[in-house]
Each structure stands twice: as C-alpha cells, then as structure tokens.
Amino acid sequence: MKYLLPCLFLVFCLGACSKHVYTVQSVGLVSEQNGTITIRSTGFGKTADEAMNSAEQYAIELLLFRGLPGSQQTTPLVEIDEATAKSRYKQYFEELLTSGRHKTFVLSAIPVSDFAKHDRSQRNMTMDIRINLTALRSDLETHSIIRKFGY
C-alpha cells in the first residue's frame, strides 16, 4: 500500500511526458512550363491516401501563401497573410483545401517514393505534383480573393 502512491505518480508522469510528433514538409521545384508548375512535395499520414492528399494540399498552400523561390511563382498568389486570408475567405479555403476541391487544379500526382514509415504513428510519401497555375490564379480572381492583373 505504501508503494501505491509513488507508483501512481510515476505512471502519471510518464503519461504526461508523451512524445510529440513533428512532421517537416519538404518541397522543391521540379519543372515549370506553359502555366503549369511541377513541385516535389512530401506528405504525411496514416494511410497512403492521406499522405498523397497531404502532399497535394501542402503544394497548393505553398503557392497560395508563400510562393516558391527559384520558380516563376516566387511571390505568393494571395497578397495578404495566410491567417487573415483563411479567416476572411473561410468558406472558399475550407472548400478548396479541406473538401478536396484542390484536386481540380492538380493535373498529375506521381509518387516518387514508397509509402514509408516515418515514426510509430505516421508514414510519409514524396510525390511530383503538377499544378495548373493559370487555372488556380483564375479561380482566385473569379472568387475575388485576388485582383486581376492590371485592375
């Protein structure tokens, strides 16, 4: 009985010190031509489909909010910061990123690595994702997220 309290305390401390999983998205330019851009992106998930979807979403978010150095799209498509844009145009970005509408701008998604174990709970997959940049920009203009060039 006198060891019960210390044992419970030890179990509580071990549970509170759980390991945090940090996933680092990697991305790079593969090629660009005629209004399209091919990005190599790594996605994470418990299944291959989750990892593929994660890689596609990250590539789209990169173009929207950060730009891709060394490409034709060095500046982000959306001029305002990510948090402001996602709160101001909440419905559009939820539909685009969460509901899977981003797939309409993905011309091809080719896995370049196997679905590999990253740690105990997550796995990753690297893909070459070809995105129709012209259509994405046009869609943002149509929904008044960005202004048309020259206006």
SS3 32: strand
Residue pair 103/93 in contact by the 8 Å Cβ criterion: no
Residue pair 37/133 in contact by the 8 Å Cβ criterion: yes
- pLDDT tens by residue, 3-43: 555 544 544 544 544 444 444 566 777 888 989 999 999 99
Span of 26-30, 56-60, 62-66, 71-75 with lowest mean pLDDT: 26-30
Give the pLDDT score at 8: 45
- pLDDT tens by residue, 84-116: 999 999 999 999 998 989 999 999 999 998 888
Give the pLDDT score at 7: 47
- C-alpha 31/C-alpha 128 separation (Å) is 10
- pLDDT tens by residue, 108-147: 999 998 888 867 777 899 999 999 999 999 999 999 999 8
Q: Give the strand pairing for 36-45 and 123-132.
A: antiparallel
What is the arithmetic mean of pLDDT over 57-62? 94
